[in-house]
Amino acid sequence: MTDELADTEPRHRPGLGWALAAAVGALFAIGLVNLPREAAPLSAVAHQALTVAQPHWHTTEPVNEVVYGTRGFDTFGETFLLLAAVVSVVVLARRREPRYGYIGEEVEGSRERRGVAQGSRSDSGERAARAAEGGEQETYDAARPDTPDHEPLGVVRHETAHAMTVVTRNAAKTAAPILAVAGIYLCAWGYTPGGGFPAGAVLLGVVLLLYAGFGYPAISRAVRPGVVEVIELAGAVLIIAAEVLGLVFKGAVSENWLPLAPLQTIRAGGVAQVFSASELIEVGTGLIIAVFTILGMRHDWAGDDA
């Protein structure tokens, strides 16, 4: 086994790379040394954020107030940039024919193609070949057990089961709800640190945990393009509504138009809390779509010898 750290990885022009990186480094050093150091006073916008957080937004978390309140339009742009990235991943992963699901699409596509080809003129040789191929495909599908518990121990073979062993499944079953509650808690209480984005990424983690533990058929009912994309765009509409209503009622885009709850309660923060919750929905489902789209990315042309 070659030494893992030996840097024999193919590369080109290391000398030039070193020179350019060192030059950029020197430029950065000059610039960074003249940056304001830690003794500098807080900027005016920071003072404004600190003073306005409690009286105007009833939140004890100025960073959340800045993220979802005064600079809500910037967070609006950032969240929709994530939406644009997810859409571009889906478009990049699109196959030629309309897709049905993230994974198991090849089976759908080939079955559909077989159905269409049936009508064309086919002699006995082609029918026999098609029957053989159909038989082989069916046996492979049937051969994939749901769980690997019945496989004899010690057999060296490619794992075909959808799910993992009973130990991993139970561990996933116990860990997933705890992680989901922790993630939602991170975003629910708006007056402590944490917001929609980390909670959405935790949601992705929980879904990946269930996918790894139970296989795609187990979660395919929920993690389908039809369901997840609708939820994501519902979150996006919720964000747009929360922002534009501020413009309608109070004359500024991310202005707070909700009645303010007392400090340190779950509804503290007015529209910032609504924005954070809808960002949780959108980021969580967006990341799920991106990850499962890359997972289910098939060749977008007739597969060659492969």
Partner 1 sequence: MIVVNYLAAGALFCIGLYVVLTRRNLIKLVMGLSVMEASTYVLLISMAYRRGSTAPVFVSPPAGRSVTSLTHGGVADPVLQNFCLTAIVIGVAATAVFLSVVVRIAQHYRSIDADDVRGMRG
Partner 2 sequence: MTGFWVMDYLCLALVLAAALMVVRIRNLAGAAMALSAMGTVLTLLFVVLGAPDDAHSEAVVGAIALPALYLIAIGKVRADVRGPGEQGKRRGPDDMDARR
Query: Interaction with partner 1 in 187-206: which residues (CB under 8 A)?
Result: 191-193, 195, 197, 201
Report how far residue 28's alpha carbon sits from residue 75's, in angstroms, rounded to the nearest whole number. Answer: 28
Size of the site for partner 1 (CB under 8 A): 72
Q: Is 14 in the site for partner 1 (CB under 8 A)?
A: yes
Identify the residue among 6, 32, 116, 143 touching partner 1 (CB under 8 A).
32
Site string for partner 2, 65-104 (x = CB under 8 A): --x-------------------------------------
276: left (phi over 0), alpha (psi -120 to 50) or beta: alpha
Quickly list DSSP for 87-128.
HHHHHHT--SSPP--SSSHHHHHHHHHHHHHHHS---HHHHH
Give CA–CA dist 270/243, Å, rounded: 12
208 binds, among partner 2, partner 1, none (CB under 5 to 8 A by kind): partner 2
Q: Is 166 in the site for partner 1 (CB under 8 A)?
A: no
Alpha-carbon distances of 14 from 6, 9, 11, 21, 202, rounded to whole Å? 15, 11, 7, 10, 39
Handedness of CA 242, 243, 246, 249 (dihedral sign): negative
Q: Is residue 53 close enough to count as binding partner 1 by CB under 8 A? A: yes
Burial tier of 221 (Cβ tally within 10 Å: 0-12, 13-18, 19+): exposed
Binding mask 61-100 for partner 1 (x = CB under 8 A): xxx-xxx---x--xx--xx-xx-xxx-xx--xx-------
Binder of partner 1 out of 1, 3, 6, 41 (CB under 8 A): 41
Return the SS3 of 215. Answer: helix
Q: How far is Cα 217 from Cα 163, in angstroms, rounded to an integer?
A: 9
Q: Which is nearer to partner 2, 20 or 128 (CB)?
A: 20
Distance CA 62, CA 52 (A): 8
In the set 52, 188, 201, 260, which binds partner 2 (CB under 8 A)?
201
Which range in 47-55, 148-156, 160-168, 206-214 contacts partner 1 by CB under 8 A? Answer: 47-55
> Which tokens hold the place of 127?
């029918």
Distance in Å, CB of 297 to partner 2, minimum:
6
241 touches partner 2 (CB under 8 A): no
Which one, 88 or 122, has the nearer CB to partner 2?
A: 88
User: CA-to-CA distance for 230 and 115, rounded, in angstroms?
Assistant: 30
Residues near partner 2 (CB under 8 A) are: 2, 4-10, 61, 63-64, 67, 186, 193-195, 197-198, 201-202, 204-205, 208, 287, 290-291, 294-295, 297
